[in-house]
Amino acid sequence: MRRILASLILSPVLLHAQVSKQAAGVSLEARTDALKMAMPAVAGAAAPSSVAGTAALRISTGVLAAKVIHTSQISYSDSELNPHDNKIVVKVLVDEKGNPQNPQIVSSHNPELNQRVLDAVQHYRFQPAQLDNQAVAEHVNLTFVFER
């Protein structure tokens, strides 16, 4: 009972140390349950398998982040820039086809440029993120720094 409770409390990264030969089946179940609680999105990809009496837990393969492949210009003048901070951070969902969805300003010290940045991000194109070699949607933060 202690072994199961300890396995559920420990992070999934450290759980491999809890597996012993005599309780491999119990520990594998506890590891899978802990993985489901800690990382529900990844737990669906978990496929426990047994090879020659040892237990293995497959997490995922082919993990790639989304990448910008096409940008658009943002026009601005020096008079529109702040004297100190001209950084704008935008959060955007990149769908499975690499199209930006619902861009939002996360932080900005220059409200004059916000709408132009959001309009430009709508024209960006991305290489979509991949999980298990399949395209998936992913939130991406883009940082724009404007210089004089």
List, for residues 31-84, the tens digit of each pLDDT value.
445 445 554 444 444 444 444 555 666 666 778 999 999 999 999 998 889 888
Q: What is the pLDDT of residue 57?
A: 66
The DSSP code sequence of 79-146 is GGS-SS--EEEEEEEE-TTS-EEEEEEEEES-HHHHHHHHHHHHT-EEEPEEETTEEE-EEEEEEEE-
Q: What is the pLDDT of residue 95?
A: 96
Q: Structural domain boundaries of the chain? A: 2-58, 67-145
CA separation for the pair 107, 22 (Å, rounded): 54
State the pLDDT confidence band at 21, using cuts at 50, 70 and 90: very low
CATH architecture of 67-145: 2-Layer Sandwich (3.30)
List, for residues 108-136, the tens digit of each pLDDT value.
988 889 999 999 999 999 999 999 889 99
Q: What is the pLDDT of residue 85?
A: 87
Instruction: Spell out the residues 6+ positions from residue 37 whose beta carbon is closer than 8 angstroms to its own.
Output: 8
State the pLDDT confidence band at 139, using cuts at 50, 70 and 90: very high
Backbone φ, ψ for residue 41 (5° rounding):
-70, -35
Q: What is the pLDDT of residue 56?
A: 66
15 within 8 A of 31, measured Cβ to Cβ: yes
Q: What is the pLDDT of residue 54?
A: 59
pTM summary value: 0.58
Mean pLDDT for the chain overall: 74
Q: What is the pLDDT of residue 82?
A: 87
